[in-house]
Protein backbone atom coordinates (compact mmCIF):
# COMPACT_ATOMS: atom_id res chain seq x y z
CA UNK A 1 0.00 0.00 0.00
CA UNK A 2 1.36 3.42 -0.92
CA UNK A 3 2.24 5.64 2.02
CA UNK A 4 -0.20 8.35 0.93
CA UNK A 5 -3.16 5.97 0.97
CA UNK A 6 -1.90 4.41 4.20
CA UNK A 7 -1.94 7.77 5.98
CA UNK A 8 -5.29 8.66 4.42
CA UNK A 9 -6.82 5.49 5.79
CA UNK A 10 -5.37 6.17 9.23
CA UNK A 11 -6.84 9.67 9.34
CA UNK A 12 -10.22 8.25 8.35
CA UNK A 13 -10.07 6.20 11.54
CA UNK A 14 -9.88 9.35 13.69
CA UNK A 15 -12.27 11.48 11.63
CA UNK A 16 -14.88 13.23 13.79
CA UNK A 17 -13.25 11.90 16.95
CA UNK A 18 -11.66 13.88 19.77
CA UNK A 19 -8.42 12.74 21.39
CA UNK A 20 -6.55 13.73 24.52
CA UNK A 21 -3.57 16.00 23.86
CA UNK A 22 -1.03 13.25 24.52
CA UNK A 23 -2.74 10.77 22.20
CA UNK A 24 -3.19 13.32 19.43
CA UNK A 25 0.44 14.48 19.54
CA UNK A 26 1.71 10.91 19.71
CA UNK A 27 -0.37 9.98 16.65
CA UNK A 28 0.96 12.92 14.62
CA UNK A 29 4.59 12.28 15.59
CA UNK A 30 4.36 8.57 14.82
CA UNK A 31 2.93 9.26 11.36
CA UNK A 32 5.31 12.10 10.47
CA UNK A 33 6.83 12.28 7.01
CA UNK A 34 10.49 11.47 6.51
CA UNK A 35 11.41 14.00 3.82
CA UNK A 36 11.16 17.19 5.90
CA UNK A 37 10.59 18.33 9.46
CA UNK A 38 6.95 19.37 9.69
CA UNK A 39 5.62 21.99 12.09
CA UNK A 40 3.00 21.16 14.70
CA UNK A 41 0.22 23.72 14.31
CA UNK A 42 -2.60 24.55 16.74
CA UNK A 43 -5.94 26.20 16.04
CA UNK A 44 -8.30 27.39 18.78
CA UNK A 45 -11.86 28.52 18.08
CA UNK A 46 -12.80 31.04 20.77
CA UNK A 47 -16.13 32.44 21.88
CA UNK A 48 -15.23 36.04 21.16
CA UNK A 49 -16.01 38.76 18.65
CA UNK A 50 -12.67 40.51 17.90
CA UNK A 51 -14.56 43.40 16.31
CA UNK A 52 -15.22 44.62 19.85
CA UNK A 53 -12.20 46.12 21.61
CA UNK A 54 -13.02 44.39 24.89
CA UNK A 55 -12.94 40.97 23.21
CA UNK A 56 -9.70 41.27 21.28
CA UNK A 57 -6.98 38.75 22.09
CA UNK A 58 -3.36 39.41 21.24
CA UNK A 59 -0.13 38.55 22.96
CA UNK A 60 3.00 36.42 23.09
CA UNK A 61 3.90 33.08 24.62
CA UNK A 62 7.37 31.78 25.37
CA UNK A 63 7.06 28.07 24.68
CA UNK A 64 9.07 25.85 27.05
CA UNK A 65 10.84 24.21 24.09
CA UNK A 66 10.72 27.05 21.55
CA UNK A 67 9.02 26.75 18.17
CA UNK A 68 11.93 25.39 16.17
CA UNK A 69 11.95 28.30 13.75
CA UNK A 70 15.04 30.38 13.03
CA UNK A 71 13.71 33.87 13.76
CA UNK A 72 15.08 36.83 11.82
CA UNK A 73 14.95 39.91 14.04
CA UNK A 74 15.34 43.59 13.14
CA UNK A 75 15.88 46.21 15.84
CA UNK A 76 15.46 49.98 15.84
CA UNK A 77 18.05 51.27 18.31
CA UNK A 78 20.97 53.66 18.62
CA UNK A 79 24.26 53.89 20.48
CA UNK A 80 24.55 51.56 23.51
CA UNK A 81 21.15 50.00 22.83
CA UNK A 82 22.22 49.19 19.29
CA UNK A 83 25.30 47.41 20.63
CA UNK A 84 23.12 45.58 23.14
CA UNK A 85 20.86 44.38 20.33
CA UNK A 86 23.80 43.13 18.25
CA UNK A 87 25.28 41.22 21.19
CA UNK A 88 21.88 39.64 21.88
CA UNK A 89 21.78 38.26 18.34
CA UNK A 90 19.72 40.74 16.31
CA UNK A 91 20.11 40.20 12.57
CA UNK A 92 19.82 43.88 11.61
CA UNK A 93 20.11 47.01 13.76
CA UNK A 94 19.53 50.59 12.64
CA UNK A 95 17.38 53.70 12.80
CA UNK A 96 16.45 56.02 9.92
CA UNK A 97 18.52 53.88 7.53
CA UNK A 98 16.64 50.74 8.58
CA UNK A 99 13.28 52.48 8.19
CA UNK A 100 14.19 53.58 4.67
CA UNK A 101 15.32 50.08 3.80
CA UNK A 102 12.03 48.61 5.01
CA UNK A 103 9.99 51.23 3.21
CA UNK A 104 11.73 50.15 0.01
CA UNK A 105 10.29 46.67 0.49
CA UNK A 106 12.98 44.86 2.45
CA UNK A 107 10.72 43.19 5.03
CA UNK A 108 12.20 39.72 5.32
CA UNK A 109 11.90 39.66 9.12
CA UNK A 110 9.92 37.61 11.62
CA UNK A 111 10.03 40.22 14.39
CA UNK A 112 10.69 43.97 14.56
CA UNK A 113 11.67 45.48 17.91
CA UNK A 114 12.22 49.13 18.83
CA UNK A 115 13.41 51.22 21.74
CA UNK A 116 10.75 53.76 22.86
CA UNK A 117 12.80 56.77 21.68
CA UNK A 118 12.78 55.54 18.06
CA UNK A 119 9.05 54.90 17.76
CA UNK A 120 8.74 58.24 16.00
CA UNK A 121 10.90 56.84 13.20
CA UNK A 122 9.06 53.52 13.22
CA UNK A 123 5.67 55.25 13.20
CA UNK A 124 6.44 56.85 9.84
CA UNK A 125 6.52 53.39 8.21
CA UNK A 126 3.57 52.01 10.15
CA UNK A 127 1.57 51.51 6.95
CA UNK A 128 4.38 49.33 5.67
CA UNK A 129 4.89 47.27 8.83
CA UNK A 130 1.27 47.00 9.97
CA UNK A 131 -0.13 44.80 7.17
CA UNK A 132 2.80 42.40 7.67
CA UNK A 133 2.14 42.11 11.40
CA UNK A 134 5.57 43.58 12.13
CA UNK A 135 4.65 46.87 13.84
CA UNK A 136 6.32 47.02 17.27
CA UNK A 137 3.83 47.08 20.13
CA UNK A 138 4.41 47.65 23.88
CA UNK A 139 1.78 45.01 24.72
CA UNK A 140 3.81 42.42 22.81
CA UNK A 141 7.08 43.45 24.40
CA UNK A 142 8.48 44.69 21.10
CA UNK A 143 8.65 48.33 22.20
CA UNK A 144 11.00 48.25 25.14
CA UNK A 145 14.18 49.64 26.66
CA UNK A 146 15.18 46.11 27.62
CA UNK A 147 16.42 45.25 24.14
CA UNK A 148 18.56 42.33 25.26
CA UNK A 149 15.60 40.44 26.77
CA UNK A 150 13.32 41.21 23.81
CA UNK A 151 15.82 39.99 21.22
CA UNK A 152 16.71 36.86 23.16
CA UNK A 153 13.02 36.03 23.63
CA UNK A 154 12.33 36.43 19.92
CA UNK A 155 15.36 34.35 18.98
CA UNK A 156 14.36 31.57 21.40
CA UNK A 157 11.10 31.00 19.54
CA UNK A 158 8.66 33.24 21.39
CA UNK A 159 5.34 33.02 19.52
CA UNK A 160 2.98 35.91 18.86
CA UNK A 161 -0.74 35.22 18.57
CA UNK A 162 -3.73 37.28 17.54
CA UNK A 163 -7.40 36.39 17.14
CA UNK A 164 -8.67 36.53 13.57
CA UNK A 165 -12.01 38.12 12.65
CA UNK A 166 -13.70 34.75 13.09
CA UNK A 167 -12.37 34.37 16.64
CA UNK A 168 -9.75 31.78 15.72
CA UNK A 169 -6.20 31.84 17.09
CA UNK A 170 -3.57 29.85 15.19
CA UNK A 171 0.15 29.29 15.64
CA UNK A 172 3.05 27.00 14.83
CA UNK A 173 4.29 25.62 18.15
CA UNK A 174 7.15 23.26 17.40
CA UNK A 175 8.75 20.80 15.00
CA UNK A 176 7.82 17.13 14.92
CA UNK A 177 11.50 16.32 15.46
CA UNK A 178 11.09 17.69 19.01
CA UNK A 179 9.40 14.43 19.93
CA UNK A 180 6.12 13.74 21.71
CA UNK A 181 7.04 14.91 25.23
CA UNK A 182 8.33 18.36 24.26
CA UNK A 183 5.46 18.97 21.86
CA UNK A 184 2.90 18.09 24.54
CA UNK A 185 4.57 20.64 26.84
CA UNK A 186 4.33 23.28 24.11
CA UNK A 187 0.67 22.51 23.38
CA UNK A 188 -0.26 22.75 27.06
CA UNK A 189 1.71 25.98 27.48
CA UNK A 190 -0.03 27.61 24.50
CA UNK A 191 -3.51 26.56 25.64
CA UNK A 192 -2.87 27.76 29.20
CA UNK A 193 -1.69 31.14 27.88
CA UNK A 194 -4.85 31.57 25.81
CA UNK A 195 -7.02 30.54 28.77
CA UNK A 196 -5.41 33.20 30.95
CA UNK A 197 -5.93 35.85 28.26
CA UNK A 198 -9.72 35.57 28.34
CA UNK A 199 -11.00 39.13 27.79
CA UNK A 200 -13.54 40.73 30.10
CA UNK A 201 -16.07 41.07 27.28
CA UNK A 202 -16.13 37.35 26.46
CA UNK A 203 -19.41 35.68 27.48
CA UNK A 204 -20.39 32.01 27.63
CA UNK A 205 -18.00 29.26 26.55
CA UNK A 206 -14.56 30.74 25.90
CA UNK A 207 -12.71 27.83 24.26
CA UNK A 208 -15.10 26.17 21.82
CA UNK A 209 -12.75 23.94 19.88
CA UNK A 210 -9.08 23.00 19.72
CA UNK A 211 -7.37 21.11 16.93
CA UNK A 212 -3.78 20.30 16.08
CA UNK A 213 -2.15 19.13 12.87
CA UNK A 214 1.18 18.78 11.16
CA UNK A 215 2.08 20.96 8.17
CA UNK A 216 0.86 18.38 5.67
CA UNK A 217 -1.55 16.53 7.95
CA UNK A 218 -5.23 16.52 8.81
CA UNK A 219 -6.51 18.34 11.88
CA UNK A 220 -7.20 16.27 15.00
CA UNK A 221 -9.79 17.54 17.46
CA UNK A 222 -8.64 17.79 21.07
CA UNK A 223 -10.79 16.92 24.08
CA UNK A 224 -11.45 20.18 25.89
Mean pLDDT, the chain, rounded, equals 90
Domain segments of the chain: what residues? Answer: 18-66+159-222, 73-155
Give tens-digit pLDDT for 92-107.
Answer: 999 999 999 999 999 9
Domain 18-66+159-222 adopts which CATH fold?
Ribulose 1,5 Bisphosphate Carboxylase/Oxygenase (3.30.190)
Domain 73-155, second-level architecture: 3-Layer(aba) Sandwich (3.40)
Give tens-digit pLDDT for 19-73.
Answer: 899 999 998 898 887 788 999 999 999 999 888 888 888 899 989 998 888 899 9
In this predicted structure, what is the pLDDT of residue 146? 96
CB neighbour class for 9 (10 Å; exposed up to 12, middle 13-18, buried from 19) = exposed
In this predicted structure, what is the pLDDT of residue 6? 54
In this predicted structure, what is the pLDDT of residue 1? 42
Which position has the higher pLDDT, 165 or 3?
165
Asked if 18-66+159-222 and 73-155 have one fold, the answer is no
Q: With a threshold of 0.75, does the pTM exceed it?
A: yes
d(CA 60, CA 6): 37
Mean pLDDT over 71-81 rounds to 95
Burial 87-105 (b: 16+ CB within 10 A, else e): ebebbbbbbeebbeebeee
Nearest CA among 159, 144, 1, 4 for reference residue 77: 144
Amino acid sequence: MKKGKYLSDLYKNIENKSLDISDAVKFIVEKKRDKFDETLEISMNLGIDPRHADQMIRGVVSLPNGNGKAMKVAVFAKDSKAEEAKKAGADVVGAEDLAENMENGNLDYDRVISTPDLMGVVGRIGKTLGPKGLMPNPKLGTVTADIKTAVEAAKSGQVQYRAEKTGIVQAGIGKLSFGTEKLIENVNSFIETIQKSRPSGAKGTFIKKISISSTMGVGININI
